Structure 1
Amino acid sequence: MTRLIGAGRATLTYPDRGATARQPLPAGYHHLRHRTRVGHGQAAFEAAGTAVTTFLAHRASGMSVRSEAAAARPGARVDVGIGLGPLRITAPCRVIWTAYEPTRVGFAYGTLDGHPECGEESFLVERDPGGGVWFTVTAFSRPARWYTRLAGPAIPFLQRCCARRLGRRVRELAVPA
């Protein structure tokens, strides 16, 4: 069951709360959808789901993560850091929805004030009927700061690179121990 936070819980920087859980994505944003096969079977599904919902996949991809909760839950604040030293950018987010279901596990977070982008991003692990395990990143965003506007088309390229890197890390983390 997908759980969505209530309207008054967070000061999000966009009006389309929860849109990554449905299609089509809202107009007026750059859209991203990247899907990676990460394994096969229940053990791979559980390992990948845990890696995604505990932010381990983000950390394994080189991001720093500070969260109010050990695992994704609606309403939890998550600060994601990208970059190094003086070039580190902190991106404040709020978990918008979660899915902890027999064949789907994941979450989405939305941008808060101070985030370089405006929008939402979801991270979902799914097990198909044949036992294949897939990881999908879905996002819609647009620049929210002068430097992301200045960077122009480099930002969607970097977002796609980050989604691919996350997919590779989830694949590595989905290998049952």
Structure 2
Amino acid sequence: MRRGTFRDETVDYAAVGATQAPDLMQYPPERSIPAQESWKIGSGEERFRAAGDALLSWHALRDGGLELGDVRPAAGPTYSGVSFDDEGQPIAPSRLDADLRFDADGTPYVGPGATVHVRGRVGGLNADGELRVIFVVEEKHRIGFALGTVDGSVVSGEESFMIEWRGDDEVWFTVRAFDRPVALLYRVLPVLVRRRRRELFQRYLRAISPMYTTPA
């Protein structure tokens, strides 16, 4: 029931929030390669809540084989917009932005404006870089957030993660992204950007839904 948004010129791309554009796949930001995948990961409120909590405690990245370091909440207050119930009535945020949550090892949950340094390898190449949380959504039927690149990544752009509890009781996990090649190898061989993104998507899915197996 909470929606937080962060806008800052320190990210290294212009189209902040573009992962939420309905026409992302047709009209991605200039020189960027878009990607999107959705998977059914179960059904029911319990599955939705569990997947949402895992998502906001960084499990998609950490259990996806990436190391998180220096997770820092935003230095100042962030804006929490109004959310609405099924009848269109405004509802208050479920908690104050100042009320930070932490996982078992003391890492802050995802919050708008937070920064995190990611380290790891994808497809045999480095996946290091500093990322910033662009927005966070916590609603009755949707939980998710987006990350934007700040510095040091082989690509520049944004990726969003969303858990949806749909009207038919099914729970779906959707990841959307756009990547502009920055590293020389990726600029020369854009196919590597797509390959990197496919591997990341599969890692995220396995992290959020361990029972998932890729069809042969």
Structure 1 residue 106 and structure 2 residue 144: aligned? yes
Structure 1 residue 44 and structure 2 residue 43: aligned? no
The alpha-carbon distance between structure 1 residues 65 and 173, as it changes in their structure 2 partners (threshold 3 A), is farther
Structure 1 residue 96 and structure 2 residue 120: aligned? no
Cα distance in 1, alignment partners of residues 178 and 113 from structure 2: 19
- Aligned counterpart, 2:161: 123
Contact 1:52-1:106 at 8 Å conserved across structures: yes
Instruction: Give how far 1:130 is off.
Output: 1.4
Contact 1:4-1:18 at 8 Å conserved across structures: no
Instruction: Give how far 1:125 is off.
Output: 0.6
Paired positions, count: 171
- Once the two structures are superposed, residues 22-72 of structure 1 have per-residue CA deviations (whole angstroms, 9 ceiling, x without a partner) of 322234210110111111111110111111111122111111112224111
Q: How does 1:159-174 map to 2 (within 5 A)?
A: 159-172=197-210
Q: Which amino acid aligns with 2:66?
A: M
- Aligned counterpart, 1:68: 72
TM-score by length of 2: 0.72
Contact 1:51-1:173 at 8 Å conserved across structures: no
Contact 1:31-1:140 at 8 Å conserved across structures: yes
Contact 1:52-1:170 at 8 Å conserved across structures: yes
**Runs ≥4 residues deviating over 3 A:** 86-89
Structure 1 residue 158 and structure 2 residue 192: aligned? no
The structure richer in helix per residue is 1
- Aligned counterpart, 2:91: none
- Aligned counterpart, 1:4: 5
Contact 1:32-1:140 at 8 Å conserved across structures: yes
Percent identity between matched residues is 32
Cα distance in 1, alignment partners of residues 3 and 23 from structure 2: 17
Cα distance in 1, alignment partners of residues 197 and 7 from structure 2: 28
Q: Give the unaligned 5+ runs of structure 2.
A: 74-107
Q: Which amino acid aligns with 1:48?
A: A
TM-score by length of 1: 0.87
> Could you say what the CA RMSD is over the residues aligned between the two structures, in angstroms?
2.1
Cα distance in 2, alignment partners of residues 64 and 113 from structure 1: 16
Instruction: Give how far 1:118 is off.
Output: 0.8
- Aligned counterpart, 2:179: 141
Contact 1:41-1:133 at 8 Å conserved across structures: yes
- Once the two structures are superposed, residues 103-127 of structure 1 have per-residue CA deviations (whole angstroms, 9 ceiling, x without a partner) of 1101001011211111110011110
Task: Tell which structure's C-alpha radius of gyration is larger.
Answer: 2
